[in-house]
Structure 1
Amino acid sequence: MASVDAVKALRSVLQRVHQAAERSGRRGDDVRVVAVGKTKPISLIRQLYDAGHRRFGENYLPQDIIWHFIGHLQSNKAKSLLAAVPNLAVVEGVDNQKIANHLDRAVASIKREPLRVLVQVNTSGETSKSGVDPSGCVELVKHVKMGCPNLEFSGLMTIGMADYSSTPENFKTLSNCKVEVCKAIGMALDQCQLSMGMSGDFEQAIELGSTSVRIGSTIFGPREYAKKR
């Protein structure tokens, strides 16, 4: 029954995404929904796959999954990640030049197609959050574009506040970074993705320009972590 509920929840999320996109003057298809089933059983994620969804924050499923790695990645894990997940489509979490360089070399070493990456920006100013400061966003993007030939800069992302929600100011900060980045590198605004918004705030994020939302608990229910003894 839980997996059936997840499918219904996904359909509800997709409907809300379409409505929010229309309020922002765009089509629903302009916004990607990444289903993030962290800690959930493979069978539950498989149910969404069988229902036709293909964009996940996991690597458990068949080769036609469009898998996103979300969040901070340790530089020494770049090569092992790429080797273990041949269908890795996007890394949402390049927050410094070191990890960009490691990913670039890892892609070259396994001779795969260029890897799409999003630069992570710390829009809330929280020291606990990964991400480049907004003031350093353009410099990092330029490094990815000009210094990492095996990476393809695709856009920007941000993580919400401590309760996994965010504020209009956080979203507006990322949108402003997008304008600055596109001007600096000569990229069309509609070619630069904005990954912002999760279960608690994705509709507001879409209305403020998000093109990709990461939905976990609204589809799968609360995360279930093993209790520490």
Structure 2
Amino acid sequence: MESIASNLNRIREQIGTLSVKAGREPSDVRLIAVSKTKPARLVREAFDAGQIEFGESYVQEFLEKRDDPLLQGLPLQWHFIGHLQSNKIRSIAGKVALVHGIDRLSTAAELSRRSMQQNLHTEFLLEVNTSGEQTKYGISPDVLLSEAEKIFKLPNIALRGLMTIASPDTDLARKEFRELRNLLEALKKNAPDPTLLTELSMGMSQDFESAIEEGATIIRIGTAIFGWR
């Protein structure tokens, strides 16, 4: 089995090649190493190989990992990429660089409330269900603009862009990535400050190539770095 360091190097090379091919700068695409279900020692191994940003999906696991002695004092940037329930927001407020999984107005409102209580400024993405699958979370594309209009007014939080989990079918995934990019452009037209809307979090181990070609600024890679869960 290849090492985490060699896996990271390979993916970084792919990001560079794909970005240039798409007429983009490699630095425009951020790699989030999805470390959910993986122990702190593997996060440390990835950090030692130059990886700074990590994605977690389960609140309790994230909190335990964040406090692990192996990771203390390291300049890690944590992203919460899983579905986030309102009652869990207080546990992660102020502890993550970016929240990816806000999928409704009520959750955004709770994120705002907790941020106000703790005098925080919290950045987040809206998750959009581009595939239409009932098993997936996310705001429907049809109501995104109207919901975002209300979310823009909430204090102490800043919407930075959109996130999606695409269909397993690669052809469908590409169409969904393109749709998310178009939705972000539409959102910018209604935003109080469109310059804040810079992020498209889309693409995972099996489909990040097409995501980069369709404009992803954040890709979330787990299996291709850490192996199967």
Same fold, TM exceeding 0.5? yes
Which residue of the other structure, out of 124, 131, 135, is the alignment partner of 1:124?
Answer: 131
Cα deviation, 1:168-214, whole Å, max 9, x if unaligned, reads: 11111101101110111155478421000000000110001100000
Partner of 1:17: helix, strand, or coil? helix
Q: CA separation in 2, counterparts of 1:144 and 1:66?
A: 25
Q: CA separation in 2, counterparts of 1:191 and 1:117?
A: 10
Match in the other structure for 1:227 = none
Root-mean-square deviation (Å): 2.0
Match in the other structure for 1:139 = 146
Match in the other structure for 2:38 = 40
Q: CA separation in 1, counterparts of 2:82 and 2:186?
A: 22
Cα deviation, 1:95-135, whole Å, max 9, x if unaligned, reads: 100000111111111222x1110010000000111000001
TM-score scaled by structure 1? Answer: 0.87
Match in the other structure for 1:179 = 185
Unpaired runs of 5+ residues, structure 1, are 224-229
Does 1:115 find its partner at 2:113? no
Match in the other structure for 2:27 = 29
Q: CA separation in 2, counterparts of 1:202 and 1:192?
A: 18
Match in the other structure for 1:226 = none
For the structure 1 residues 115 and 126, does the alpha-carbon distance in structure 2 shift closer, same or farther, using more than 3 Å as the test?
same
Say how many residue pairs are matched: 216
Unpaired runs of 5+ residues, structure 2, are 57-61
Partner of 1:168: helix, strand, or coil? helix
Does 1:91 find its partner at 2:99? yes
Match in the other structure for 2:174 = 168
Alignment of 1:69-84 (within 5 A): 69-82=80-93
CA contact (8 A) 1:179 1:189 kept: no
TM-score scaled by structure 2? Answer: 0.87
Partner of 1:93: helix, strand, or coil? strand
Q: CA separation in 2, counterparts of 1:35 and 1:199?
A: 10
CA contact (8 A) 1:178 1:189 kept: no
CA contact (8 A) 2:19 2:212 kept: yes
CA contact (8 A) 1:165 1:200 kept: no
Q: CA separation in 1, counterparts of 2:190 and 2:197?
A: 14
Which residue of the other structure, out of 153, 167, 175, is the alignment partner of 2:159?
Answer: 153
Partner of 1:135: helix, strand, or coil? coil
Runs of 4+ in structure 1 off by over 6 angstroms are none
Alignment of 1:186-201 (within 5 A): 187-188=193-194, 191-201=197-207
Partner of 1:104: helix, strand, or coil? helix
Partner of 1:154: helix, strand, or coil? strand
Cα deviation, 1:59-92, whole Å, max 9, x if unaligned, reads: 433462111100310111111222xxx4311000
